[in-house]
Chains A and B, each alone.
Chain A
């Protein structure tokens, strides 16, 4: 079952062609990794898929349905959410409250009930709190539950963003550099978290510079370079693709860590 279908998407900013004719497809329970040098258009493509940008041409389909003209919050109601490369955390709320905000679309109620604090709203608050706590435990952050998010470190906030996105119970999750700035232990933990999420049938699009993580996790790899698709296929196919080797690894073959090649 195709969850996300990107059809010949192009987006231009003034004279800059940030994306040209990019197409991809993600099925249920599949991980697609988007790689490429800085400035290749990975985050731009994320912004198009999550409706933060409207494409100049081409279309994005979610569960077969054209999403042109929808706002990001409407896509969230259809099961698509994302995390951000540069954290977008609610810094003045606690870690727990951050995740509880992710429950928003699952919470039912009306303004009258909210203003007068009806028992149903209190019950629901308790449910959301419980669910948020479980998600914090899932990403290993339960001991930070009541700490203001503004006090927490970068690596912790990366995981907090994932927990918050999972609170929606999404069917499609876009992760923009989920392990950037994380140490080896944290990276391994996030790797485990993503595996568990995928095993529940969630489709994941991943932008990530950590090549080991990409090769381990991804079912398919999509390589972008200067806004165009350079190659696409399984991790093994992409790794052997001469165009990729040249563009992506070429200049610094002698470096041990290909992930550092573009930095």
Chain B
């Protein structure tokens, strides 16, 4: 009973919502609130990536590209077009989704390693474009982002983004939980196991993959916009190839095919380096070592592996 509840995406969504609400009551320091906000932001993009990889079975090494497009949209919207930041965020998500729709058709004809290479190339193109269009984007130095927050509600800048990112995270989880329990979600999971069987059952496999790709790009852009608005400054380095690898690592470490695993993976890779800073020069070596240990001990990722253990020990 308990293990079944833990695997229910709606139960996970409720649990994450409770954590978002309760955390400010427990931790007071700005530093910790900021870390939690970062976890929420990265959870949002990893959720989308997990939909694509863990459910539809399509790999992407280019999601940092969508992430950074979302981030630059809230920087460019106000400075270039005079739009307000909220509208820029919505526009950035919409345009990034449209871009994903256009490039998704040809990219998703590929699969496996070829798809990984093609998405990697997409991410690299976005990165190079933003780095080199100095007049527009400020190049490698990045650009300022016009301040936007909920100070009208009496919230500080940081708390504004804590609640906004937390809200977007819960909303994303809710939306994905709905999707996964709909016919479209079943179609995605089906094509992951057998594209040919999904096809003879009438599922338009190309269209289903494209839907997952576009939704994951939209969530990446939303997360990127949140990060830029939280930080008030954005550089291309926030969306380089290493960022794509980091996002993929979060999805895999947390557990592919588990929504709450995305949150766990994001939390793990955002928080762990903070605990490891006291090791100074050895920080990255220890982080790498811990990742290897986790993947050996919990090969399905943190959440699905722990679920499997609990299924064995609990009723």
B47 to chain A, nearest CB (A): 13
Bound-complex Cα distance A109 to B196 (A) = 23
Bound-complex Cα distance A76 to B203 (A) = 8
Given A104-B186, A114-B179, A52-B203 contact (CB < 8 Å): no
On whether the beta carbons of B184 and A73 are closer than 8 Å, the reply is no
Is A101 part of the contact surface with B, judged by Cβ < 8 Å?
A: yes
On whether the beta carbons of A89 and B194 are closer than 8 Å, the reply is yes
Q: Which of B181, B192, B202 contacts A125 (CB 8 A)?
A: B181
On whether the beta carbons of A76 and B187 are closer than 8 Å, the reply is no
Q: Which of A75, A82, A92 contacts B189 (CB 8 A)?
A: A92
Is B190 part of the contact surface with A, judged by Cβ < 8 Å?
A: yes
Which label, helix, strand, loop or mixed, suits the secondary structure of the B interface?
A: helix
Bound-complex Cα distance A107 to B196 (A) = 20
A18 to chain B, nearest CB (A): 18
Chain A window 85-112, contacts with chain B (Cβ cutoff 8 Å), 1 for yes, 0 for no: 0001111110001101111110101010
Q: Which of B178, B192, B194 contacts A116 (CB 8 A)?
A: B178
Chain A window 116-143, contacts with chain B (Cβ cutoff 8 Å), 1 for yes, 0 for no: 1100010011001000000000000000
Bound-complex Cα distance A113 to B185 (A) = 12
On whether the beta carbons of A89 and B193 are closer than 8 Å, the reply is yes
* Residues in B whose Cβ lies below 8 Å from that of A72: 196, 199-200
On whether the beta carbons of B200 and A101 are closer than 8 Å, the reply is no
Bound-complex Cα distance A115 to B179 (A) = 5
On whether the beta carbons of A82 and B200 are closer than 8 Å, the reply is yes
Given A88-B194, A117-B178, A100-B199 contact (CB < 8 Å): no
On whether the beta carbons of B178 and A97 are closer than 8 Å, the reply is no
Residue of B with least CB distance to A149: B193
* Residues in B whose Cβ lies below 8 Å from that of A124: 183
Bound-complex Cα distance A88 to B194 (A) = 6
* Residues in B whose Cβ lies below 8 Å from that of A171: none
On whether the beta carbons of B185 and A92 are closer than 8 Å, the reply is no
* Residues in B whose Cβ lies below 8 Å from that of A84: 196-197
Bound-complex Cα distance A111 to B200 (A) = 22
Which label, helix, strand, loop or mixed, suits the secondary structure of the A interface?
A: helix
Chain A window 192-205, contacts with chain B (Cβ cutoff 8 Å), 1 for yes, 0 for no: 00000000000000
Is B205 part of the contact surface with A, judged by Cβ < 8 Å?
A: yes
Is A168 part of the contact surface with B, judged by Cβ < 8 Å?
A: yes
Residue of A with least CB distance to B194: A88
On whether the beta carbons of B197 and A93 are closer than 8 Å, the reply is no
On whether the beta carbons of A73 and B175 are closer than 8 Å, the reply is no
On whether the beta carbons of A104 and B203 are closer than 8 Å, the reply is yes
Chain A window 145-160, contacts with chain B (Cβ cutoff 8 Å), 1 for yes, 0 for no: 0000000000000000
Q: Which of A75, A88, A109 contacts B197 (CB 8 A)?
A: A88
Given A73-B200, A128-B183, A90-B190 contact (CB < 8 Å): yes
Chain A window 14-56, contacts with chain B (Cβ cutoff 8 Å), 1 for yes, 0 for no: 0000000000000000000000000000000000001010000
On whether the beta carbons of B189 and A90 are closer than 8 Å, the reply is yes
On whether the beta carbons of A107 and B200 are closer than 8 Å, the reply is no
* Residues in A whose Cβ lies below 8 Å from that of B211: 111
Is B152 part of the contact surface with A, judged by Cβ < 8 Å?
A: no
Given A73-B203, A82-B200, A114-B187 contact (CB < 8 Å): no
Is A188 part of the contact surface with B, judged by Cβ < 8 Å?
A: no
Which residues of B pack against A, CB within 8 Å? 174-175, 177-179, 181-187, 189-190, 192-194, 196-205, 211, 257
Which residues of A pack against B, CB within 8 Å? 50, 52, 71-73, 75-77, 81-82, 84, 88-93, 97-98, 100-105, 107, 109, 111, 113-117, 121, 124-125, 128, 164-165, 167-168
What are the nearest 10 A-B pairs in CB distance?
Answer: A76-B202, A117-B178, A88-B197, A105-B202, A114-B182, A90-B193, A72-B199, A107-B183, A88-B194, A101-B190
19 further interface pairs, Cβ-Cβ under 8 Å (given A92-B193, A165-B201): A72-B199, A73-B200, A73-B201, A81-B200, A81-B201, A84-B197, A90-B193, A93-B186, A101-B198, A101-B201, A101-B203, A103-B183, A104-B183, A104-B186, A105-B201, A107-B183, A114-B183, A115-B178, A164-B201
